[in-house]
Structure 1
């Protein structure tokens, strides 16, 4: 189910709620993201990751154009915020999905559940029919999530810079068609 909260979408799943991020999320985001295992699987997240990094990220979320970009905090009942999921335009203007979960929430199906319902929202409410995604070649878990939600490999491997690693990493590119 998807509802609007102050004009922004809120998406519910069986175990999760995807909602707009808020400034008060900064401490929780910093606590979960200040993990090298989490940060090194993303392109934009530095390591170490502190509250100032989280506040800067949240300020950027407030400035995005909701017709081109959407960001969701992923909440789990009883735990609060457990990660983030976003749809961002890439260098060529195509929409790309990205997500991360705090380490305590890995391997429990939360990423698949969140991504699957967010993709339904993308198609039904946001009107997108084509998305890109990529995962670092050494992050097969993310590849499995993307495959389970309907992404297909393009056969292209791109070098994508990881801020936490400080170097480009081979990234397996994928596409989703609604």
Structure 2
């Protein structure tokens, strides 16, 4: 396995995926403080303030780079427009998750970021397998993942969403193979 780059930067055609910075907190809070963004994630509260963003950024700085990688999705004209991350829970396979601010939905940025990040995960981490899931009421995220090369497994898990008050929500599971 390759040595893991501690502060990788992934460059795609229109975006840079980079290490989060404290200075990203205000802009991420603006984009995350949208119920329709937060409700499609498992861990993001709503309302979402700068203090939440600062706590998230602090937590990401403490992660194990062999098990986790978090990137700010950085647009050259608009700055931080979202977040993408890889997480590995004990006894589970690595999983990708992401969110984008509403102004950038439907522009192909999520797919572009996911494709670039998956190439990085394969090359830098040696990952040949990645999981993902999307809430059944978020088919747009399923399309992003399909466009990035994921396939449905046929499994549906119940996952809670903090923004939905901890409500267990059906989640369609997917897999990517390098």
Task: Work out whether 1:168 is the aligned partner of 2:168.
Answer: yes
Say if 2:72 is the partner of 1:73: yes
Structure 2 partner of 1:108: 107
Residue aligning to 1:89: 88
Q: Which runs of 4+ in 1 moved over 6 A?
A: none
| SS of residue in 2 equivalent to 1:131 | strand
3-state DSSP class of the match of 2:81? strand
Aligned residues: 174
1:109-157, Cα deviation, whole Å (9 max, x unpaired): 0000000011011111221111110000000000001011111111010
Alignment partner, residue 31 of structure 1: 30
Task: Provide the secondary structure at the position in 1 that maps to 2:53.
Answer: helix
CA distance in 2, matches of 1:162, 1:73: 21
Deviation digits for residues 81-104 of structure 1, max 9, x if unmatched? Answer: 100000001353311000000000
Normalised by the length of structure 1, the TM-score is 0.95
| Greater percentage in strand | 1
Q: Which stretch of the first structure deviates more once superposed, 122-131 or 137-146?
A: 122-131
Q: Is the partner of 1:9 in helix, strand or coil?
A: coil
Aligned-residue Cα RMSD (Å) equals 1.2
Does residue 1:63 correspond to 2:55, yes or no? no
- 5+ long unaligned stretches in structure 1: none
Structure with the bigger RCO (C-alpha within 8 Å, sep 6+) is: 2
Deviations 1:148-176 (A, max 9, x none): 11111110101100000010100000111
What secondary structure does 1:8 align onto? coil
Question: Gaps spanning 5+ residues in structure 2: where?
Answer: none
Structure 2 length-normalised TM: 0.95
